[in-house]
């Protein structure tokens, strides 16, 4: 049976393709046709890799073969084909990551935890360093509004994966196009998904997947029932997704897919899509044209978020300042901890 990879590689058509794969009848051979050469955006590449890997794993008795994959040298270079098991091109993480891109890269969560223990630091500190490293690869700098915005946003999304997803690893892929004034970052895990993540908090136990992704984006909403209590800077407060989606939406786009729900948001628009994803995948699309100072932006979102949280049932409305509401420089140095 021939399965045609969709011509449009925009996330909505990949989500539709995932549903199509689910409905395919049993066959001895599935031949995936990658078609003519075209642009594979980072997040689309991640989604497609996850979906194809899931299909491969669900059909252990069938043969899966690729055709026309050799047209896609750039995707091959970024580790796309190897990330779902096809022996073609680079392995994930093998491309050097220059020219403002991060190839498909797998981060091992257990390894991150071990590194934190070995270095006597918090997991959040290790993730902060990882996020800064990735933002540095993309921007070729270690300061400025774009660097700050990217390291903050990447940190918050990978923190969520590590803190909430229960997945063993996460995938990240990103690219910055200076001439287009655009950065795209995709981060995905195959964990428990947003709905089950939120259900840990009794206030949000009855939401379905669609309601859960909408609710998780609101300020003060956390699956951690202890959100907002305590003074630890890495304590959850329910602001990570709220802040990152607001950052992306000023000029760019934010997308989140989890289970059977997906949501794409721009400054004025909300697109509700049927999803079909194991775990959680987030796309950050940031417009780098006239990017505002991140510190001021976070402060404003923080204040607006606090006010909005008062009206959201179950939201954390405490005033503890935690990492998701601040830039790293705002809390570094405050938390020197020599305990052991």
Ligand X SMILES: Nc1ncnc2c1ncn2[C@@H]1O[C@H](COP(=O)(O)OP(=O)(O)OP(=O)(O)O)[C@@H](O)[C@H]1O
Residues that bind ligand X (CB under 6 A): 156, 160-161, 163-165, 189, 191-194, 197-198, 216, 221-224, 227, 236-242, 280, 322, 324
> Which residue, among 233, 281, 229, has the nearest Cα to 48 in the 3D structure?
281
Q: Indicate which of Mg ion, ligand X, none lies near residue 191 (CB less than 5 to 8 Å, by partner kind).
A: ligand X
Compute the least distance from the CB of residue 324 to Mg ion, in Å: 5
Q: Are strands 182-189 and 169-177 parallel, antiparallel or unpaired?
A: antiparallel
> Which residue, among 105, 81, 90, has the nearest Cα to 32 in the 3D structure?
81
Residue 127 or 146 having the CB closest to ligand X: 127
Residues 134-163 that bind Mg ion (CB under 5 A): 160
Q: Indicate which of ligand X, Mg ion, none lies near residue 192 (CB less than 5 to 8 Å, by partner kind).
A: ligand X
Q: What single-letter DSSP state applies at residue 220? A: T
Q: From 90-98, 105-113, 183-191, 240-248, give the range in contact with Mg ion by CB under 5 A.
A: 240-248
Compute the least distance from the CB of residue 4 to ligand X, in Å: 31
Residue 194 or 265 having the CB closest to ligand X: 194
Q: Indicate which of ligand X, Mg ion, none lies near residue 315 (CB less than 5 to 8 Å, by partner kind).
A: none
Residue 13 or 229 having the CB closest to Mg ion: 229
Cβ contact 208:193 at 8 Å:
no
Q: Indicate which of ligand X, Mg ion, none lies near residue 11 (CB less than 5 to 8 Å, by partner kind).
A: none
Helix (H, G, I), strand (E, B) or coil at 33: strand
Helix (H, G, I), strand (E, B) or coil at 334: coil
- Decide if residue 240 touches Mg ion (CB under 5 A): yes
Compute the least distance from the CB of residue 11 to ligand X, in Å: 17
Across 197-219, b (16+ Cβ under 10 Å) vs e yields: bbbebebbeebebbebbbbbbbb
Is residue 67 within a helix (H) or strand (E), and if so which, with residue range?
A: strand 63-67
d(C-alpha 289, C-alpha 178), whole Å:
9
Residue 5 or 148 having the CB closest to Mg ion: 148
Residue 86 or 255 having the CB closest to Mg ion: 255
Q: Indicate which of ligand X, Mg ion, none lies near residue 254 (CB less than 5 to 8 Å, by partner kind).
A: none
Compute the least distance from the CB of residue 302 to ligand X, in Å: 11
Residue 70 or 111 having the CB closest to ligand X: 111
Give me the phi and psi of 287, to 5 degrees please: -85, 120
CA atoms within 13 A on the CB side of 1: 13
Residue 183 or 190 having the CB closest to ligand X: 190
Q: What are the tokens at 192? A: 């428990």
Q: What is the DSSP string of 77-121?
A: HTTHHHHTT---SPPTTTS---TTEEEEEEEEHHHHHHHHHHHTS
Compute the least distance from the CB of residue 157 to Mg ion, in Å: 8
Compute the least distance from the CB of residue 307 to ligand X, in Å: 17
d(C-alpha 131, C-alpha 151), whole Å:
5
How many chain residues are in contact with Mg ion, going by CB under 5 A? 2
Compute the least distance from the CB of residue 1 to ligand X, in Å: 33
Q: From 36-44, 106-114, 234-242, 260-268, give the range in contact with Mg ion by CB under 5 A.
A: 234-242
Angle at the Cα of 151 from the Cα atoms of 149 and 152, rounded to 5 degrees: 65
Residues that bind Mg ion (CB under 5 A): 160, 240
């Amino acid at each position: 049976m021939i399965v045609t990879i969709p011509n449009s590689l925009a996330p909505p058509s990949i989500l539709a393709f995932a549903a199509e794969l689910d409905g395919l009848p049993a066959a001895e051979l599935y031949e995936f046709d990658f078609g003519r050469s075209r642009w594979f955006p980072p997040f689309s590449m991640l989604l497609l890799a996850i979906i194809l890997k899931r299909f491969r794993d669900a059909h252990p008795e069938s043969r899966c073969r690729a055709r026309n994959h050799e047209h896609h040298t750039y995707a091959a270079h970024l580790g796309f084909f190897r990330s779902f098991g096809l022996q073609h091109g680079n392995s994930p993480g093998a491309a050097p990551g220059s020219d403002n891109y991060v190839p498909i890269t797998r981060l091992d969560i257990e390894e991150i935890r071990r590194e934190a223990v070995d270095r006597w630091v918090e997991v959040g500190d290790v993730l902060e360093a990882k996020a800064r490293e990735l933002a540095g690869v993309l921007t070729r700098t270690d300061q400025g509004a774009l660097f700050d915005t990217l390291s903050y946003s990447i940190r918050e999304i990978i923190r969520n994966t590590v803190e909430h997803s229960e997945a063993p690893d996460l995938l990240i892929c990103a690219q910055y196009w200076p001439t287009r004034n655009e950065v795209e970052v995709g981060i995905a895990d195959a964990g428990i998904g947003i709905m089950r993540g939120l259900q840990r908090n009794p206030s949000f136990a009855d939401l379905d997947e669609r309601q859960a992704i909408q609710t998780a984006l609101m300020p003060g909403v956390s699956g951690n029932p202890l959100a907002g209590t305590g003074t630890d800077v890495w304590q959850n407060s329910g602001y990570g997704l709220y802040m990152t989606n607001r950052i992306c939406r000023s000029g760019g786009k934010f997308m989140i897919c989890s289970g059977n729900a997906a949501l794409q948001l721009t400054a004025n628009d909300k697109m509700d899509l049927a999803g079909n994803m194991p775990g959680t995948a987030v796309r950050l699309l940031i417009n780098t044209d006239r990017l505002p100072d991140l510190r001021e932006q976070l402060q404003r979102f923080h204040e607006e978020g606090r006010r909005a949280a008062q009206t959201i049932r179950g939201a954390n409305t405490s005033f503890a300042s935690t990492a998701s509401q601040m830039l790293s420089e705002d809390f570094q140095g405050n938390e020197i901890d020599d305990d052991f």
